[in-house]
Amino acid sequence: MAKVVVVGAGFAGHYASLVLADALLGKGNHELTVISRVPKFTYIPSLVWVGVGRMKAEETQFELKPVYDKLGAKFVHGVAKEVHPDDQYVVVELPNGSTQQVNYDYLLIATGPYLNFEATPGLGPDEGYTQSICTPPHATKAAAAYLELVSRMEKGDKVKIVVGTGHGTATCQGAAFEYISNLHNDLVDRGLRDRAELLWLSNEPNLGDFGIDGLEFRYKNQIFTASEVVEFLFEKYGIKWQVESHVKQVDENRIYTININGEENEIEYDFAMLIPQFKAQPIKWFDKEGNDITEKMTNPAGFVKVDAVYGKPYDELDGPDWPRTYQNPIYKNIFAAGIAFAPPGPLSRPRQAPDGTPIAPAPPRTGYTSELSGRAAALNIVDMVEGREPSHSASMAETPGLCVASLKNDLLTGGAVTIAIYPVARNRAVYGEYGRDLDNCLAEIGLAGAWFKWMLHHAFLYKLQAKPGWKLIP
């Protein structure tokens, strides 16, 4: 009998839990326990539409416990605070303030990002002045602020809207790109677009970098880039841009930036949605003597080390250095997936301003990548439970990335940029010059993407509730 514990029930953790439940429960008295800080699953990609006021947060969510009850898994609503890997237990803080010890034989950490608004003074909807669409409450608050702005515009006000990244090392540019495009189209539909100035503010070296070192693709024997696609779109939409920038501080009226050349700028704004830096969730690791071994188990940002090759300089980093099994090298019964695993390095080239301020996107681990790594980790745990070596691999240098970036959510007049990339992390050992298979990379704008995005929302919410036939949905 094996006790498997999953911490975090987002894209990586919840999907891994479905795979684990399917493979293990009902056989050999195995137990699966899922620990989650929040009682609901959120389909985060649709928070873009929540943030424009075109969808309610509840339409992106479902309760986790009934799903786990149905599968025979245990559910603990609480925050994992500590892991004791020698004695194999997790300390969980419950909503009433008490703590619970949850024992495990195998552990999967899938806790996603900690939204580090504190890294930028004045950033964020709780302690600062800017909006966020990273969580359901944030997206709901962003929608309210945006609709307030809309009523000002309806009365004749001209406004300045800034969207992008709020820190030199923030990631998730794709979500911000979707948000600014949806805002543009929403304002067009309301007949208010001429009353708003829209600015894209980002730490990317150029448009279309998206933290994945950009994208090249072949079309009719010519090579195009995501940068050209985004520039075309922003010009068509009348969106201005300022890239290569770190946000130093935000106050009620201005955003203070420094760029890669050390030039400082003050941007006036009426409404801003800026993605914060992502750190790992603050979980502490202790050995059997009670020593804090967090530094040994994680990288400096707190992400859990797995089977990657760490410490190589950017120019030497290549496909084989990316993790495959997501197994911790010290404690073989511990795995980490999704945003929680420590990548071997960035995808976009690290750069800094003359004063040393880092200005380069951190590597994203998108929803699809998170699912693939969660699935591989889950199947590797099943391997070990059944007495085999971990055999499942989902390296970002061997798997595709698929991102459908919404421009507008409407099945008749909507649109999306469909970005397919293979593989996500450049793998020059296999694909030579570009490190990617350009015949399997694509960035295309069209209405079909809007249908696909709508379908993904419904298909994912169906599949992740383990409804009949869920395993058939890829």
Ligand X SMILES: Cc1cc2nc3c(=O)[nH]c(=O)nc-3n(C[C@H](O)[C@H](O)[C@H](O)COP(=O)(O)OP(=O)(O)OC[C@H]3O[C@@H](n4cnc5c(N)ncnc54)[C@H](O)[C@@H]3O)c2cc1C
Residues that bind ligand X (CB under 6 A): 7-13, 35-38, 44-45, 47-48, 79-80, 110-112, 133-134, 172, 175, 281, 283, 338-340, 365-368, 370, 403
CA 111 to the chain's CA centroid? 11
Per-residue 3-state assignment (H helix, E strand, C coil) for 205-246: CCCCCCCCCCCEEEECCEEEEHHHHHHHHHHHHCCEEECCEE
Contacts of 84 by beta carbon, 8 Å cutoff, 6+ apart = 90, 91, 285, 286, 287, 288
To ligand X, the closest distance from the beta carbon of 269 in angstroms equals 20
Choose between 4 and 9: whose C-beta lies nearer to ligand X: 9
By beta-carbon proximity to ligand X, the closer residue of 67 and 353 is: 67
Cβ distance to ligand X smaller for residue 314 or 452: 452
Contact partners, residue 453, CB within 8 Å, separation at least 6: 45, 404, 406, 409, 416
Indicate the residue among 7 and 359 with the shorter CB distance to ligand X.
7
Number of residue whose CB is nearest ligand X = 10
Shortest spacing between CB 419 and ligand X, in angstroms: 10
Instruction: State the nearest-atom distance from the C-beta of 155 to ligand X, in Å.
Output: 29
Minimum separation from the CB atom of position 346 to ligand X (A): 16
Q: Which two tokens stand for residue 16?
A: 């891994």
Closest approach, Cβ 251 to ligand X, in A, equals 24
Closest CA to 425 of 467, 380, 384, 366: 366
Of 102 and 153, the one with the shorter C-beta distance to ligand X is: 102
Cis peptide before 423 (omega within 30 of 0): yes
Say if residues 166 and 275 touch (Cβ distance below 8 Å). yes
| Alpha carbon of residue 428 to chain centroid | 25
Distance (Å, whole) CA 393 – CA 327 = 10
- Least CB distance to ligand X at residue 35 (A): 5
Q: How far apart are CA 87 and CA 286, in angstroms?
A: 9
Q: What is the amino acid identity at position 116?
A: N
Q: Which is nearer to ligand X, 45 or 319 (CB)?
A: 45
Q: What six digits make up the tokens of 395? A: 């390296």
Tokens of 462: 């169906």
Closer Cβ to ligand X, 224 or 460, answer by number:
460
Say whether 421 sits in a helix, a strand or coil. strand
Cβ 370 to ligand X, closest distance in Å? 4
Q: How far is the CB of 254 from ligand X (least distance, A)?
A: 25
Measured from the CB atom, the residue of 35 and 180 that comes closer to ligand X is: 35
Q: What is the DSSP string of 252-306?
A: SSEEEEEETTS-EEEEE-SEEEEEPEEEE---EEB-TT--B-HHHHB-TT-PBP-
Q: Which is nearer to ligand X, 8 or 423 (CB)?
A: 8
Shortest distance, position 167 Cβ to ligand X, whole Å: 14
For residue 8, the minimal CB distance to ligand X (Å) is 3
In 365-469, DSSP assigns E strands to 401-408, 415-421, 442-446
Residue (36 or 380) nearer to ligand X, CB: 36
